[in-house]
Chains A and B, each alone.
Chain A
Amino acid sequence: MNYSRRLSQNQSGSNPSSQWNTLTFVGDQLFKPPTDIQDKQEYFSSPQNNFKALTLIRVLRAWNEQQKTTQLNLGREKIPQMLMLQNQTSSFPNQQVVQLSDEVQEHFRNLHKKLDDEKSLYENAQAIVAWIEETEQEYECQTIIAALLESLPVLSSHILLATLNNAEILIVNFDLLNVVSYLLGSENKRVAQSAATYLLVCGGELGERLFQAKLDSGTLPHSPLIQGISKLLC
């Protein structure tokens, strides 16, 4: 089954609730769709989902700028009408933004499984990173990675960060930059260190500033290790 991210431009006559019900994101792990308008408001107003809502909005903005379409209504209730991740077989008249092949989706799903086999996780992460390297929609892909990183089991999260760093995928997306800097505060020392390495190697000047700000805040559980990474790389 293929999913694609779609932007609805012609919503006349369509039922927002039914569209919202089709919203999903590479399996059920990332965005579990509420079933009605009331749920939607609660979903996006809760702090833990706020980031996801912002991510969706940013994708829309980026897409809108790219396509030079007319002004979009980014009101909370309109989000589900505008950003759709739905089955390809749907007759919904949307424009495709990012296409995920069955193979890539399978790699995403595998990362979500709580596996201990690091070799297998690396193979899945490498396939995802290869997909990012080959796509022309780098910004949008990094948005997906940002959302993915936030929801993965810790070992998968570490391995995806390590793979992104090994491939030297430069961070061009503010959401990804935010998530990676957030992961500096992970309780898991491998995640915290791989986030530090990735931020310093591929985060550019802004990444370094975020890194320093997090370190200066004194709230990082593995602060000595994070400082150690900084000394090794800088």
Chain B
Amino acid sequence: MSVGVVVFPGSNCDRDVRWASEGCLGIPTRYLWHEERDLSGLDAVVLPGGFSYGDYLRCGAIARFAPVLESLVDFAARGGRVLGICNGFQVLTELGLLPGALTRNRNLHFICEDAELEIASVRTPWTNAANASDRITLPIAHGEGRYQCSDDTLRQLQDDDCIAFRYLSNPNGSVGDIAGITNADGNVLGLMPHPERACDPTTGGVDGRLLIKALLS
């Protein structure tokens, strides 16, 4: 049982994810260079935060062409668990594994602070260890985290119970206070907050352990 963490040249939370998963929670974790295609032996893959290929065009817009992501699409189609955090969430929407898009925060500033979230769905393995409407606190750190989608998509997300997390105090102007969503099958989760930054009591809370543990649950 092990987890892979994708490393783009501009990823900068890849080591933090490994610290959370392997260092804090003892989950064997290896890095996947963006040019690799071999995902064998992995039970879950994390797309970490950062700026993938610099993101000067549009966050995640170039990353979607990475060789590792071709394999990842197959991996997800076979039901493998995929967690996209922050830039990883942006990449998942560019890839089409999740609907919608992430645009610049409403106030146009990068925002780094703790955000209180409501667990809006306990349908999927990511959150079924929690109770509906539980509240958790995870840090956010993004400049482009404003979730946007069409009214139809929003309705679809609600109908399929795909909205995993909502902000209690919307920091960035996201539609429907959305902080994170899953696909309909529930094996792919993308969220802007950073669960890996909330696994080590020395540097923050431990509410993020719920999601990191769920990689292998």
Do A and B bind?
Answer: no
What is A's interface to B at a CB cutoff of 8 Å?
none
